[in-house]
Amino acid sequence: MLAPILSVIVPCYNERENVAPMVARLGAVLDGVPWEAIFVDDNSPDGTSEVAKSIATDNAQIRCIRRVGRRGLSSACIEGMLASSARFVAVIDGDLQHEEALLPVMLKVLQRGEADIVVGSRHVAGGEASTGFSAIRRKISDGGAQLARLFLPSPVADPMSGFFMLERTTVERLAPELTGRGFKILLDILLTAEPPLRVRELPYSFRPREAGESKLDTVVLVEFLTLLLDKASGGVLPMRFLSFATIGVFGLAIHLACLAMTIHELGFAGAQWLASVIAMTANFWLNNRITYSDVRLRGAALWQGLVLFYLVCGVGVAANVGIAGLLLRDGLANWGAAGAAGALLTVVWNFAVSATLVWR
Ligand code: GDD
Ligand code: MN
């Protein structure tokens, strides 16, 4: 068997039914190309790795990395790409929503040196997004893409795509700088590369999922915003802080929404109390899932952590109100600036103290 020139990285979580069809499709479209597929599975409860490994026992083109105790689409893609020694690497979703027939075309473009990275795009002429997403998912995806475009060095129509190919050496070079969090590995790569990569987009139609279900949720959304913040700040602020602060903004939105919904029934003070408890609980849950996913609290420690978190945030609010009041009283700031200073102090306080007390 020839050494592969192309490694196709297939991130998977609970995709057991899609593994064999994926192998068959890759074999059909990559006929004549020495290729391999690397399935990267995060120890899916449905036994995706077992299926991939059983196929691999009599097919040398198939490999499987089984990661234990970790979750994450981006980091799975990075690990898969770094496990390759082929000249080119591609990433494709394991749920058959991407059009694998594009792979040989992508390879040609790279071999001719026409681009540094080739992206399967739903948003260039001939591409189609609506087929694979519900209307609401599409709105979120479009909004995210708009936001991401503001940060990109050159225009890319579909920066949210999870389907692309590039030279492995490019990934090896960028890997230490990649954020590796969340769903958006392509965006991570595009925002990290300096000088910017030459991008070629090829149209494809996003297919509906046939088996299994999507893993996109609030967690993914927060991680996306954290990624943008991390890149925008040049990586100087710790990821944990950015994640904590992003969740803080979510918390504020939750707080205001609760306030608006209950103020007529409960009056201002009552509504304010209820909104605070709900927002703090939501923040605690999100931080436990995202910011501190690696040291996540469970069981009894979870409840203990929640109570501590209420206390820490309570002091934070008192400090916020106090500082803002002082600045205002001494005429050092107008109410907007005083409020912002108080809020900033609260986030820093909440973050610093909960990092040492709650998630030790
Ligand atoms: N190893 C691993 N770990 N794989 C994961 C994880 C994880 O934590 N979460 C999701 N995956 C795998 C899924 O099994 C699937 O093969 C692929 O990553 C995409 O996940 P979906 O949950 O199906 O995402 P989607 O359909 O909402 O969106 C995908 O397609 C978009 C269109 O190209 C994502 O890949 C987006 O990034 C992409 O833009
Ligand atoms: Mn999908």
Closest Cα to atom 35 of ligand 1: 162
What's the pLDDT tens digit per position in 168-187?
Answer: 999 999 999 998 888 899 99
Q: Cβ contacts of residue 176 below 8 Å, gap of 6+? A: none
pLDDT at 122: 92
C-alpha of residue 214 to centroid of ligand 1, in Å: 7
* Residue 55 pLDDT level (bands cut at 50, 70, 90): very high
H helices within 166-295, ranges in order? Answer: 168-174, 185-192, 218-232, 239-286
Tokens of 171: 């990934």
* Residue 339 pLDDT level (bands cut at 50, 70, 90): confident
* Residue 284 pLDDT level (bands cut at 50, 70, 90): very high
From 46, 122, 215, the mutation candidate for ligand 1 (largest count of ligand atoms within 8 A of CB) is 215
Does residue 194 have a pLDDT over 80? yes
Instruction: Give the ligand 1 atom nearest the CA of 183.
Output: 37
pLDDT at 334: 79
From 13, 98, 99, 142, the mutation candidate for ligand 1 (largest count of ligand atoms within 8 A of CB) is 13
pTM of structure: 0.82
C-alpha of residue 93 to centroid of ligand 1, in Å: 6
Residue type, 314: G
CA distance 179 to 74: 9
CA distance 61 to 177: 30
Instruction: State the complex-level ipTM.
Output: 0.96
From 93, 106, 123, 184, the mutation candidate for ligand 1 (largest count of ligand atoms within 8 A of CB) is 93
C-alpha of residue 274 to centroid of ligand 1, in Å: 36
What's the pLDDT tens digit per position in 122-139?
Answer: 999 988 887 777 888 888
CB distance 307 to 299 below 8 Å: no
What's the pLDDT tens digit per position in 224-279?
Answer: 888 888 888 887 888 889 999 999 999 989 988 988 899 899 888 888 889 889 99
H helices within 72-153, ranges in order? Answer: 73-82, 103-111, 135-151
* Residue 20 pLDDT level (bands cut at 50, 70, 90): very high
Closest CA to 46 of 65, 19, 72, 22: 19
Tell me which ligand sits closest to the C-alpha of residue 40: 1
Sign of the CA dihedral with 238 first, then 91, 171, and 110 last: negative
Any atom of ligand 1 within 6 Å of the Cβ of 180: no
* Residue 218 pLDDT level (bands cut at 50, 70, 90): confident
Does residue 342 have a pLDDT over 90? no
What's the pLDDT tens digit per position in 295-337?
Answer: 899 999 999 999 999 999 988 888 887 887 888 788 877 777 8
Does residue 65 have a pLDDT over 80? yes
What's the pLDDT tens digit per position in 73-122?
Answer: 999 999 999 999 999 999 999 999 999 999 999 999 999 999 999 999 99
CA distance 128 to 157: 12
C-alpha of residue 11 to centroid of ligand 1, in Å: 7
pLDDT at 329: 82
CB distance 104 to 94 below 8 Å: no
